[in-house]
Structure 1
């Protein structure tokens, strides 16, 4: 039985969680290892269609999901939904059936199943479905624009937004602070902090709360 199982470890936030989390307490499930042909300690490398079986075998106490892509990177809305909705819920359901009592998931600022925006509506639908799985404790992180050195293909829109972030952030006050940019490193640190014992319930963490947790 793993203390915690991380999915999405090859992404921006997930890779930083993997680097910060105590290695002896974390298993990582991915389609590929960080070094081609070499899976480091704790890594479980398997095709996506085998992930639920791996989760059932691992029986983690805590599931951490940093899974996520963009519609542009995925190629279509359907392909995006297959990852950000279907895969997240499949792994979460497998973990819950295997006895996981807690889940920590990275969502997005503005997530709502009632949103007219496809991306935000999908994120909101995932949050609603995760609540229905009835984890003892569910932590949903809703960061703003993530900044940091991302591996893989360049995302032009995100790079331009990151360059403009210091100026746009300065204009966001009060309730709009949650839309400010936030370093992926900070989000990862908050996830590691959240993995310690917490009381039951569903918790929503937006930018200010994420920063406080990281500190």
Structure 2
């Protein structure tokens, strides 16, 4: 295995999906080195783990000359955390794009992205439109292999969970069995399940662009 192919990077490694993804990658032997990028770090160490503490303004210097084969982009804020839309766009669109370009320059050929259900670059909804623009921009970079996950509500324990999120999680436990047929894509999905699907894209090894709704993410996991 070449040096390039032995390196993977998880962007947003301290988040719900990113943390599960990092742990799962370390449990497997697909990649020799896992770079975990986050602002505050993650609470464990591993002989194959290299933590990179960075944000939008510092990531370029941190990734300079680092060979990466596969990027897992799990970064995402919320309107409550980032009420300023300009800053929100910077975190959710510009930051992943900057990392994608840097990694591509350093030899990356594979990109796996956590997007959102309904992502559409032409949407008048800020969030949905932003996610759609990110998808289109990543695809235009022409990685050999691009995987895009479009989950509905993501559930799981977060250190900053709020009452509304907890209520939504409870509500969807009731609604999920009622969402059948074409409505399955609207079911909630655990962050750990998404992470397992992300990690499983490492085994695809077939050029192209692949998109997955919630039901398909569960199948891939």
Normalising by the residue count of structure 1, what TM-score does the alignment of the two structures yield?
0.91
Pairing of 1:146-185 with structure 2 (within 5 A):
146-151=154-159, 153-185=160-192
Match of 1:211 in 2: 218
Aligned length: 211
1:174, 1:149 → 2: CA distance? 28
Match of 2:91 in 1: 83
Matched, 1:27 2:35: yes
Shift of 1:39: 6.9
Q: 2:195 aligns with which of 188, 211, 214?
A: 188
Q: Any runs of at least 4 consecutive aligned residues in structure 1 with deviations exceeding 4 A, and if so which?
A: none
1:115, 1:170 → 2: CA distance? 29
Alpha carbons of structure 1 residues 121 and 156: separation in structure 2 relative to 1, 3 Å: farther
Instruction: Please provide the CA RMSD for this pair.
Output: 1.8
Q: Structure 2, unaligned stretches of length 5 or more?
A: none
User: Deviations 1:98-142 (Å, cap 9, x if unpaired)?
Assistant: 111000010001111122221111000000000111101000001
2:196, 2:24 → 1: CA distance? 7
Alpha carbons of structure 1 residues 169 and 99: separation in structure 2 relative to 1, 3 Å: same
Alpha carbons of structure 1 residues 78 and 47: separation in structure 2 relative to 1, 3 Å: closer
